[in-house]
Amino acid sequence: MIKKCIGCGAVLQNTNDNQIGYVPNLNTKTKYCRRCFRIIHYNELEVIKVLKDEEFVLNEISNNAELVFFIIDFLNINQEVIAKFKRLACKKILIINKVDLIPSSIRLDKIKDWLKEEYKVDESVIFLSATKNKNIGSVIKEIEKNNLKKVYLVGYTNSGKSSILNKLCQKYEVTDKVITTSPVPNTTLDLINIKVNNNLTIIDTPGFIYEETFYLDNEIELIKKLNPQKYIKPITYQLKPKASVIIENKVRIENRSTKKISFTMYMSNDLNIRVVYESNKILNNFPYRIMKIAPNNDLVIKNVGFINIKDECQLGIYTEDFAVYESRKSFF
Ligand SMILES: Nc1nc2c(ncn2[C@@H]2O[C@H](COP(=O)(O)OP(=O)(O)OP(=O)(O)O)[C@@H](O)[C@H]2O)c(=O)[nH]1
Ligand SMILES: [Mg+2]
């Protein structure tokens, strides 16, 4: 009989230790594959590449789901994830997870209006925090209100789908299953069906993978830093003309205007961020592109967060991958 790993959904096997689902000893008691065991007990993280047929997943879910909860990490609201949300052709609710990271002064109802205006999201939106167990009850309310029997948790990798399902399991008093969660991408590898009671099955899904990322797959320390576990303190930098902000030696963002501008960074406080002046040539050999920023816009950096910039300005972005950067109207 095919047995799946409780942690990641991969089919358990003991024949190939380079393949997903591997365990040295496969017996009736085996619950987790070796990779999940190592993540859970030793916090040993590695990014594994898996080929996923996203079209198949999108169609399968669109055709079978009564309702999909599409999860987005608050720091990762961007055009790519919203486009994917829109492609799901079924009833859906947007969950913005990880609200524990943002200052409590940010008004969530304002963000709802902004999602509608800026990203044309007309569906219901729930704000929650899986790790802080905040507002999980709203998900249950939706399930009960619609008398649902089968719901899917869908979204990009690392948005917190499995963390949310673990919290839902606690609420439904399912105690024998804990799904593996981790800060690296591709933690969940296949669908994980959890029958929480006789009437309801909740299905966790492997995350969609970003078309491009700020990090390389072997930069585990950077990936960990990008996933803060505690509240983010926004930090403001005043940038004189020609001064730049450097983030993790991955990008140089230069003020190309004639006036001083102020940058407020909404991203992990663990990141190495510094200001340099024109005389410092660091990263100046990267390709660069000019980006025009309208008043009170954000510079969004995929997988990282965003920078709120109040003044209209021109930026010089020096980077190896421009696709990670985009601008949008701010919700402030
Ligand atoms: N600060 C914060 N971190 C969270 C929250 N929810 C999840 N995380 C963290 O985000 C990371 C990813 O969580 P997962 O639940 O594994 O994400 P996933 O969407 O299942 O990822 P894949 O299985 O790769 O698709 C982990 O490090 C979690 O601890 C939250 O509400 N707040
Ligand atoms: Mg997962």
Task: Determine, yes or no, domain membership for 275.
Answer: yes
Domain limits for position 103: 50-204
205 CA: nearest ligand 1 atom: 25
Same domain, 58 and 97: yes
Task: Determine, yes or no, domain membership for 216.
Answer: no
Task: Determine, yes or no, domain membership for 123.
Answer: yes
297 CA → ligand 2 middle, Å? 32
The confidence score (pLDDT) of residue 256 equals 97
Task: Determine, yes or no, domain membership for 16.
Answer: yes
185 CA: nearest ligand 1 atom: 24
Give per-residue pLDDT as tens, 17-36. Answer: 999 999 999 999 999 999 99
Task: Determine, yes or no, domain membership for 169.
Answer: yes
Query: Domains in the chain: how many in total?
Result: 3
Same domain, 54 and 28: no
Same domain, 180 and 281: no
Q: Is 185 in the pocket of ligand 1 (CB under 6 A)?
A: yes
Same domain, 70 and 183: yes
Write out 160-176 in H/E/C secondary structure: CHHHHHHHHHHHCCCCC
Of the chain, the percentage scoring pLDDT greater than 90 comes to 90
The confidence score (pLDDT) of residue 57 equals 81
Domain end, chosen from 187, 204, 221, is at: 204
The confidence score (pLDDT) of residue 105 equals 86
Same domain, 155 and 297: no
186 CA: nearest ligand 1 atom: 24
Same domain, 141 and 283: no
Q: Is 163 in the pocket of ligand 1 (CB under 6 A)?
A: yes
Both tokens of 175, joined, read: 């105690």
Same domain, 54 and 40: no
Which residue stretches of the chain have pLDDT < 70?
Answer: none
Q: Is 181 in the pocket of ligand 1 (CB under 6 A)?
A: yes
Same domain, 183 and 239: no
SS3 264: strand
The confidence score (pLDDT) of residue 60 equals 85
Residue linked to tokens 């590898």:
189
242 CA → ligand 1 middle, Å? 37
The confidence score (pLDDT) of residue 51 equals 74
Strands of 125-127's sheet, edge to edge?
125-127, 92-97, 67-73, 150-155, 200-204, 192-197
Task: Determine, yes or no, domain membership for 227.
Answer: no
Strands of 251-255's sheet, edge to edge?
273-276, 244-247, 251-255, 313-319, 288-293
161 CA → ligand 1 middle, Å? 7
The vertex-131 CA angle with 130 and 137, nearest 5°, equals 35
The confidence score (pLDDT) of residue 192 equals 96
How far, in Å, CA of 47 to CA of 44, rounded? 10
**Residue whose CA lies nearest to ligand 1 atom number 14:** 160
How far, in Å, CA of 75 to CA of 231, rounded? 12
How far, in Å, CA of 163 to CA of 232, rounded? 20
Q: Is 21 in the pocket of ligand 1 (CB under 6 A)?
A: no
The confidence score (pLDDT) of residue 103 equals 86
Same domain, 113 and 37: no
Task: Determine, yes or no, domain membership for 228.
Answer: no
Residue 295: partners with Cβ closer than 8 Å, 6 or more residues away:
310, 311, 312
CATH code, 184: 3.40.50.300
